[in-house]
Amino acid sequence: MSASAAHESAGRDPVLFQEIQGRDGRRIGVATLNSPQTLNGLSLPMCRLLDERLQAWAADDSLVAVVLNGAGGKAFCAGGDLHALYRSMLDSPADDPWANAAARAFFETEYRLDYRIHCYPKPVLCWASGIVMGGGVGLMLGASHRIVTGTTRFAMPEVTIGLFPDVAGTWMLSRLPRGIGTFLAFTGAQLGAGDCLHYGLADRVCDAEGLEALLAALAAVDWAADPGSHAVQVDAVLDACQTPAPEPGPLQRHAGSIRQACNRTGFLEIGAAIAAWKNHPDPWLARAAATFLSGSPGSARLSHTLLARARHRSLAETFRTEFTASLHCCAEPDFREGIRALLIDKDKTPHWNPATLEQATAEWAQRFLAPLEPAGQPHPLADLGA
């Protein structure tokens, strides 16, 4: 297995690109997020590099498939670059969300990248081993072949930082069985391979040490034998590499109780039902309740609002809505306060505003849907889905 020197990065590049030589001149592109010290947190430069290379690989007829993975062994991608977003919030006026040019650039580039993966014309395999959260979920969701392992820890924990499940998270969660998506958005509960597979958030389970073997198997495929069915050929490789289905996870085990508690229209009723689990004998459910109770009430309300909206919207429409809501979050106090408490001062004592679920009303959440682009200017993501 050899790599093309012209397409291989080295050293401290934020994304490493490699092209693995296969049979008959066909190649497999490998993109490795290369910031293990931040658990491969997704920065604006990383998004730009990935998007540019994916466009080039899509136009290259001799490149048959793409593999996404993360360096370091601990995480595929633990989220976005919150430190950079925090700096951008400090440098921008709180009364003008549109004025935060850095946040606009980050969310537009990230969401375009995620959308490109959803619509990619070639197989994209996402090796989602280790921590997969926030921005990492955005990269994973659109891949044609989403691979989890025994070390996968999948979550959308934005309620802990005053945001909401973006990167099409509201679109994804709204399409899970009723009540399940709401629970995950409100609690940031972590899922392993079994739950991801059961709920359609992943397609295959492989051994956590199996990436090199998978790449070797892809290189050995006779891609020219059936040039119109590369996705089927990838499926055959994964059939041989996958491990037996794991045991049911905690989300499956508690699905009945969760759906009964969270498949309701009343926001406060859902909150009360989740809070009642704070002393539950199952530590997973008790932890979920504790995260909800310490999280941002505004984030929970905004998630509730956006999930209901995304259920009836296309993927492109959802990205546009999330872009607007994310910029509003950058101008509202909770997102900044959540990052401060978690990553800057690390005191883990955020002061949320609104401070209670009762104060986080449906009317309050509507401000996050208000258009931001100047009059006469199209939405920055207006061309998605066109």
Whole-number Å distance between alpha carbons of 50 and 13: 12
Query: pLDDT (tens digit, 9 = 90+) per residue, 65-80?
Result: 999 999 999 999 999 9
Read off φ and ψ for residue 377, nearest 5 degrees: -100, 130
Number of neighbouring beta carbons within 10 Å of residue 386: 5
Q: Choose the weakest-confidence range: 11-20, 57-66, 330-339.
A: 11-20
In eight-state DSSP terms, residue 80 is B
Query: pLDDT (tens digit, 9 = 90+) per residue, 311-323?
Result: 999 999 999 999 9
Compute the average pLDDT of residues 227-247. 92
DSSP string of 128-139? E-SEEETHHHHH
Whole-number Å distance between alpha carbons of 305 and 365: 7
Query: pLDDT (tens digit, 9 = 90+) per residue, 250-293?
Result: 999 999 999 999 999 999 999 999 999 999 999 999 999 999 99
Distances from the Cα of 210 to the Cα of 66, 94, 231, angstroms? 17, 47, 20
Q: Is the pLDDT of residue 31 over 80?
A: yes
Whole-number Å distance between alpha carbons of 38 and 163: 19
| Share of residues in the chain with pLDDT > 70 (%) | 97
Give me the CATH topology for the region 5-369: 2-enoyl-CoA Hydratase; Chain A, domain 1 (3.90.226)
DSSP string of 93-152? -TT-GGG-HHHHHHHHHHHHHHHHHHT-SS-EEEEE-SEEETHHHHHHHT-SEEEE-TT-
Q: Identify the band that residue 12 occupies on the pLDDT scale cut at 50, 70 and 90.
A: confident
pLDDT of residue 9: 42
> What is this structure's pTM?
0.95
Q: Which residue has the tokens 């920055």?
A: 380
Dig out the tokens for 113 from the structure.
């990248």
In eight-state DSSP terms, residue 144 is S
Compute the average pLDDT of residues 198-222. 97
Number of neighbouring beta carbons within 10 Å of residue 176: 17
Query: pLDDT (tens digit, 9 = 90+) per residue, 346-385?
Result: 999 999 999 999 999 999 999 999 999 999 999 999 999 9
Spans of all domains in the chain: 5-369
Whole-number Å distance between alpha carbons of 369 and 333: 16
Whole-number Å distance between alpha carbons of 347 and 160: 13
| Share of residues in the chain with pLDDT > 90 (%) | 93
Distances from the Cα of 244 to the Cα of 193, 194, 197, 213, 330, angstroms? 11, 10, 12, 17, 43
pLDDT of residue 108: 98
Among 371, 374, 382, 370, which Cα is nearest to 319's? 382
